[in-house]
Structure 1
Amino acid sequence: MKKLLLVGALALCGVVSAQENSIKANPAALLGGADLVTYERKLTDNITGVIGAGIGGFKFGGYKYESLGGGLQGRYYFDEALTGFYGAVIGDYLTGKVEMNSADFGFDFGDGSADADMSSETDFSAIGAGLRAGYQWVFDSGFTLDLNGGASYKFYDYKSDTTNGGETDTSNLKGNGILPAGSVGLGYTF
């Protein structure tokens, strides 16, 4: 029994020191990103898988923005997984809402009075895929810094309801295009 416990303890120490996991936070994603918190797992000597989730939002005057998203990445490290230069394939999804109420601004819309009856609510969703390149530092303490950038092709869908003077107008818009993608991750590798 003692030998079994010793072998188990040695195996556990080997797993802990292997540094096969990394958890990071991207503070910029609070403004609307799919990678606020990410978990990265070493799969082979050069390949890792990343799963991320994000929730964001802010309120400014009569504007209110909120979003929820998630994403996946496959990374190839040119030297050793979890440290150094890498290239990544990404896929993500983002959904959210933007609300605007002119009464909260008190703006003059040109007729000499604020239009207190105007409000708008827009629901949006986006799905995309792209490529990133980056560099990840893992320090002796386990502290991790991840910087990356690239481009993503996104498909957007918007549905907007605007109410002005008691009348509601609904519009739908679909769009797509190439947008920049990137993050700054701060975390811990273990």
Structure 2
Amino acid sequence: MYKLKTLSLIFFLTTGLFVSTHAQEISVKTNVPYWFTATPNVGFEYVLGENLSLEFTAGFNPFKFGDTKQMKHWVIWPELRYWLYQPDSGHFFGLHGVAGQYNIGGLDLPWDRFAGLKTRRYQGSAIGVGLSYGYRWVLNDRWGIEITAGGGFARFNYDVYSLGNNGQKTGENTKNYFGPTKGALSLIYIIR
């Protein structure tokens, strides 16, 4: 927990330096499908040079959906991007991180991998790194659409609880994960 907070603070302070030097080249974005999970989210992207940009996206879901259903979490995705032609348009490749905390349970999802969420609650943290690819379409001087997909490694540390308001702790675990670590279809507003 302490490491996640320290890394987040260092990242915020570092990106603050770029904002003051490149304030005329900032994009604000939101991942539209992420809103369908009741997760408000926002991202900022700063142009660092001719072919580089730095993106920072965060999402936060504080909601509980009844006595046992919840998908509470916060997550951040910092990403350094290399644009093939110029920042803010066309193809890019990225190196991203992912970090967050979650308290999820009581959900009946259609994927077998998450079958335990129906009868248990998982509370913990995750941190990871991955590679991504994306493409941005410029709609006009101020608006754009971007699609991004990425995969990599994440490490999950969590406790397992029974469902209910007074759920009892039934276990704890650590898992290493290889697979998708980023996905977005973003609506973008460009500040120049």
Q: 1:124 is paired with a residue of what secondary structure? A: strand
Answer yes or no: is the 8 Å Cα contact 2:123–2:160 preserved in 1: yes
Is residue 41 from structure 1 mapped to residue 38 from structure 2 by the alignment? no
The TM-score normalised by the length of structure 1 is 0.71
Task: Give the residue type in structure 1 aligned to 2:185.
Answer: V
Q: 1:59 is paired with a residue of what secondary structure? A: coil
Match in the other structure for 1:105: none
Q: CA RMSD in A?
A: 2.9
Answer yes or no: is the 8 Å Cα contact 1:28–1:36 preserved in 2: no
Match in the other structure for 2:93: 87
The separation in 2 between residues aligned to 1:167 and 1:98, in whole angstroms, is 13
Answer yes or no: is the 8 Å Cα contact 1:20–1:82 preserved in 2: no
| Greater than 4 Å deviation, 4+ residue runs | none
Structure 2: state its 5+ residue gaps: 1-21, 108-118
Query: Percent sequence identity over matched residues?
Result: 21
Structure 1 position 123, deviation (Å): 0.8
The separation in 1 between residues aligned to 2:58 and 2:167, in whole angstroms, is 38
Structure 1 position 167, deviation (Å): 9.2
Task: Give the residue type in structure 2 aligned to 1:38.
Answer: G
Matched positions, count = 155
Match in the other structure for 2:9: none
The separation in 2 between residues aligned to 1:29 and 1:93, in whole angstroms, is 16
Where do 1:32-181 residues align within 5 Å? 36-56=41-61, 57=63, 59=65, 62-100=68-106, 120-162=120-162, 168-180=168-180, 181=182
Structure 1: state its 5+ residue gaps: 1-14, 102-118
Larger Rg: 1
